[in-house]
Chains A and B, each alone.
Chain A
Amino acid sequence: MSTPIVEVSNAVVGYDDKIVLRGVSLSVQRGDVVAILGANGSGKSTLVRSILRLVPLSAGEITLFGDKRFKKWQRIGYVPQRIGAGSGVPATVAEVVGSGLVARRGIFRPPGAADRAAVTTALHAVGLADRAGDPVSSLSGGQQQRTLIARALAGRPELLVLDEPTAGVDAASQAAFAGALTEFVAGGGTVLLVAHELGPLQPLITRCVVVHHGEIAHEGSVPAPAGHHADPGHDHVHPHAPHDAPGMWGA
């Protein structure tokens, strides 16, 4: 068996007195598309954040690409839950996506033609090529989320880590999102994503990990939908996503 991309062994994480992860072990192989599911507060986000070294481990060990002291962060593309709350200083979509290339290029080198091409390619992959020059703040929630995945894809990572990428995202953006991920996986990429619901991403998932109370409660195939979720015509949407003026229908 080849070296796992992510190897978590007996990871324990605690904030102050509260233990959030209680000895979690998880292995992600190249080409896997692993979904980490769980309720709010189950520790699923903490698991991913500890893999990214954003949260220190109290015990246990995490190796990335077989390396305990992993430093080659260019190999990982991270898609956080939300674009930062925003300070009011405008930034264009292309500027945000371009910020995913700075570390790879080196901070002292100005962006070149190759970087601009990478930004364009990434924006094409998520269907936002025509919005490159627009301020991010003018985009819908789903489009902003797609901007973040483009930022991660621009650096051509081998592993994509996504934290609740589809939470509160409109259907059009979810579909664009699934398309971009399918393309990434087809190109040999590995995916680790935290999700509340899988939606259109479901066919892509090769393995599910359910985190409950800081422990892994289930690992294996995608759990079958239960209750009214299992209805054949059920379209699981949360109609609380921010959306735009009804101009398209009101015309």
Chain B
Amino acid sequence: MSIFANEFMIRAFVGAVVIGLTAPALGIYLVQRRMSLIGDGVGHVALTGVGVGLLLNTSPVWTAVVVSAVGAVAIELIRERGRTSGDLALALLFYGGIAGGVMLVGLSGSRSNANLMTYLFGSLATTSRSDLVLILVLGAVVLGLAIGLRPALFAASHDEEYARVSGLPVRALNLLVAVMTAVTVTISMRAVGLLLVSALMVVPVATAQQVARGFLATMGLAMVVGVAAAGSGVWLAWEIDTALGATIVVLAIAGFLAVAVALAALRAVRRRTALRVSRLGQAPARADAEPHEVVLERR
């Protein structure tokens, strides 16, 4: 049977591609602030939102958006204060989020653990038509902001203090990133699952920054890697019947390793060539040399 014979497979594919584009476009700002794991924390908090939604019999996606946005803003405010106690506050928020979520899902009497598992690790079959519309709309908004506000978000993430002195609304931008993280986590949970969302935000960026020279190039390349991992993940998960989120993330990490190995090999070859050239009596390639500071006394 063809992979796209089922409507739900088409939905899963479209959803995964949107997420594959959006998650790295936002994730690059998180990596730049050294907050690579924040998506994971927001994912934990989002589970409580899912529990609330199931308990109230409303769409768990919406309640997850609201609850995780509140959680992400709280995390940002704690980070901004930069106190050592912030670390502990984050731990409370993360574990409170996931424990509360598991309890609420249980209380909702929703049929089985299988349901919980699809939220945690993603599933091919669970993206409904209304879910897909939500993923498309919210994904487009996050993607538009992440690309459209790139200069400002880059400045605020690259050097927060300088950005503040230059007159940028740094706090508003940081809160915007927090809310965008919450939205991305939530729209990704159907396909990738709450526990693995963060990987799709971070791993493509890690892959891209190995080869790119600038921020814009890294961003573009990370989005290509994200789409490739998400798209091929849907196909592979269908072919070998594995959990979608795990498959996408394993493919993304395989891509990272492949690039790392290829680069290491390339460097080894170049080094050997350079060595051979220098043995032939030629000068080695000069790497941005500035004169040494050797003059201490001029007498």
Contacts and interface: CB of A to CB of B under 8 A. Distances in A.
Contacts, number: 157
A80 interface: yes
A108 B149 contact: yes
Contact of B214 (A80, A91, A99): A91
B286 A248 contact: yes
A84 B32 CA distance: 11
A95 B162 contact: no
Contact of A170 (B28, B218, B290): B290
Nearest to A84: B159
B275 to A, nearest CB: 14
B163 A139 contact: no
Contacts of A72: 167
Q: Is the interface of A mostly helix, strand, loop or mixed?
A: loop
Contacts of A225: none
Contacts of B168: 102-103, 107
Given A89-B205, A99-B158, A107-B169, A142 B290 contact: yes
Interface stretch (B13-21, B129-137, B291-299): B291-299
Contacts of A245: 286-287, 289
Nearest to B149: A107
Contacts of B164: 54
28 contacts: A54-B161, A72-B167, A78-B165, A90-B213, A92-B213, A94-B214, A96-B158, A99-B163, A100-B162, A100-B166, A102-B152, A103-B163, A104-B166, A104-B167, A107-B151, A107-B168, A108-B149, A110-B148, A138-B288, A143-B288, A170-B290, A170-B293, A243-B290, A244-B290, A246-B292, A247-B284, A248-B289, A250-B284
Interface of B: 28, 31-34, 148-149, 151-152, 154-155, 158-159, 161-169, 173, 205, 209, 212-218, 283-299
